[in-house]
């Protein structure tokens, strides 16, 4: 989760919502990403989507079995759908998203019996650090 927080800090320095993500397989980081929606003018440039794309390139395939995705904020419905489609078996996140989280808070796409793949979800890891990063970003944004 420390590496995901580092990715989130990169987003923070670029005036992006500071969400960071890493994907790990066999103890090695195979994908990284942080929010780039503003920078890329791209509504789908979420940390998870970018990390999934990076991992798929690095592993030379779209099935990311045997991986764990670490992200600083609970995935949204779009990212949860991408996680299911990529067959990622485990997601670990820090902070719940009370307005749109799709890993159990508002929706539960990752563990839904309606999908063809279920994902193990672990939450609350290094929650305070991730929450502080998000709060610092929005405090700074309000001052502008």
Catalytic positions, please? 48
d(CA 33, CA 60): 17
The helix-helix angle for 2-13 and 47-59 (nearest 10°) equals 120
Q: Residues of 39-59 as b/e, b for ≥16 C-beta within 10 angstroms?
A: eeeeeebbbbbbbbbbbbeeb
The helix-helix angle for 127-143 and 2-13 (nearest 10°) equals 0
The annotated binding site for Zn(2+) is made up of 46, 76, 79
The annotated binding site is made up of 46, 76, 79
């Amino acid at each position: 989760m420390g590496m995901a927080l580092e990715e989130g800090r990169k987003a923070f320095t670029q005036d992006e919502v500071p969400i960071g993500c890493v994907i790990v397989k066999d103890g090695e980081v195979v994908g990284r990403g942080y929010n780039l929606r503003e920078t890329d003018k791209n509504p789908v440039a979420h940390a998870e989507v970018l990390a999934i794309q990076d991992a798929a390139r690095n592993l030379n395939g779209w099935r990311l079995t045997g991986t764990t995705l670490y992200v600083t904020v609970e995935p949204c419905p779009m990212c949860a759908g991408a996680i299911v489609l990529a067959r990622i078996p485990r997601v670990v996140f820090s902070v719940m998203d009370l307005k749109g989280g799709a890993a159990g808070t508002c929706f539960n796409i990752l563990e839904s019996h309606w999908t063809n793949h279920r994902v193990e979800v672990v939450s609350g890891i290094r929650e305070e650090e991730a929450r502080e990063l998000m709060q610092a970003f929005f405090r700074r944004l309000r001052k502008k």
